[in-house]
Amino acid sequence: MKRIALAAALIVLGLALAAPAKAGTITVFANADNGAPIGPPYPNSTAEQTAFLVAAAAFGPVNTHTFFNQIVGDASGVWLNGDGTWTSTMTNCVNGNTCVSNITFGNHSGFNVGSANGTGNYLAIQNASVTFNNSHFTNSFGFFATGLDGTNVTISFNDGAPETLTLTGTTLGGVQYYGFTDTSAFSTITLSNFSSDFWGIDNISFNRGALVPGPIVGAGLPDLILACGVLLALARRRRQIACLTPTHPRLGRRAVNSVGWLLHADAHPPA
C-alpha cells in the first residue's frame, strides 16, 4: 500500500511540474521611419529603441547583437559571447537577398542600420523564418527591421502560454524598430515572413536572465508515469511471491526465506 501511495504521489507531482507557467503581461515598443533613405539618423525608430532599452534594463543587463561577427552567406550562427544561437529556414543564400549579407539593393530591401550607405553585415530575409535560441531566459526582445514593403512579421514565443505578436511592416521601405517586454520570461523566439518581400533585421537586443537549464534525462512526465508503473508492477510481483512462499510451522515465513529453502511443494525442512 505504501508503494502505491508513493506512485500516486509521484504522478500528482509530475502533473504539477508539467503544468504551464502563467503567461505574462506584454508591452510593445514600435515606431517607423517609413520610406526613409539609407543612412542614419532614423529619429522615430531610434527613439523607440531607446525607450525599449530602458524598459528591458529593468529585467537585467541588456546585450545588443549586430551581425558584424557572423559569416556572410551563413543561414545560422552563434553569438560569440555565449548568449545563444540563431537558425533560419533559408537554404539558397544570396548576398543582399538572403542570409548574412554585407551589401544592399536599396531602402526597399534589407540593409545595415549603422552605416551611411547600408553596407556592413546584417541578416537579409526572404520567404523564411528565423529562430533565436537564447542560453539565458529573457523578458525582452527588440530589433530593427529594414525594407519591408507592406508585409508583416509574425513573432512567436512561449512565456508559459503560446504568444503571437505582429510587426506591421512599413509600406514604403525604410526602417522601423520593434521590441517588447514581458513579465514572464522566455528563451526562444521566432520571426516569420513567408512572402516574396526582401527585408532585413539588425541590432538585436534582449536582457540576460537566469541560465536556461539543459534537458534532464527521465525528467519528462511520460518517463515519470512509466517509472510509477514499474513500481506498481514490482509491488504486485512481491505480493504474489509472498503468497507462494511456504511457512515454517514454528518460525514463520521470514525464517523460511532467510535460509533459502526450495519452494517446491514436496520440500521439507531439515530434521
11 confidence band (pLDDT: 50, 70, 90): very low
207-221 average pLDDT score: 74
Cβ atoms of 120 and 39 closer than 8 Å: no
Distance CA 187, CA 133 (A): 6
Check whether residue 149 and residue 39 sit in a common domain: yes
Identify the pLDDT of residue 214: 77
Check whether residue 49 and residue 163 sit in a common domain: yes
For the chain, how many structural domains are there in total? 2
Check whether residue 233 and residue 149 sit in a common domain: no
Check whether residue 6 and residue 43 sit in a common domain: no
Return mean pLDDT, the chain: 83
CATH number of 26's domain: 2.60.120
Check whether residue 89 and residue 193 sit in a common domain: yes
Domain containing residue 28: 20-207
Check whether residue 195 and residue 129 sit in a common domain: yes
Could you tell me the pTM of the whole model? 0.75
Check whether residue 229 and residue 190 sit in a common domain: no
> Per residue in 59-88, pLDDT tens?
999 999 999 999 999 999 999 999 999 999
Check whether residue 29 and residue 94 sit in a common domain: yes
Q: Is residue 174 part of a domain?
A: yes
Check whether residue 239 and residue 110 sit in a common domain: no
Q: Is the sign of the CA dihedral 95, 100, 103, 109 positive or negative?
A: positive
Cis peptide before 41 (omega within 30 of 0): yes
Q: Is residue 212 part of a domain?
A: no
Distance CA 246, CA 266 (A): 11
Check whether residue 35 and residue 110 sit in a common domain: yes
Helices and strands, number each (H, E), in the chain: 4, 11
Q: Is residue 200 part of a domain?
A: yes
Q: Is residue 167 part of a domain?
A: yes
> Per residue in 120-149, pLDDT tens?
999 999 999 999 999 999 999 999 999 999
Check whether residue 161 and residue 249 sit in a common domain: no
pLDDT at 97 over 60: yes
Identify the pLDDT of residue 175: 98
Check whether residue 195 and residue 62 sit in a common domain: yes
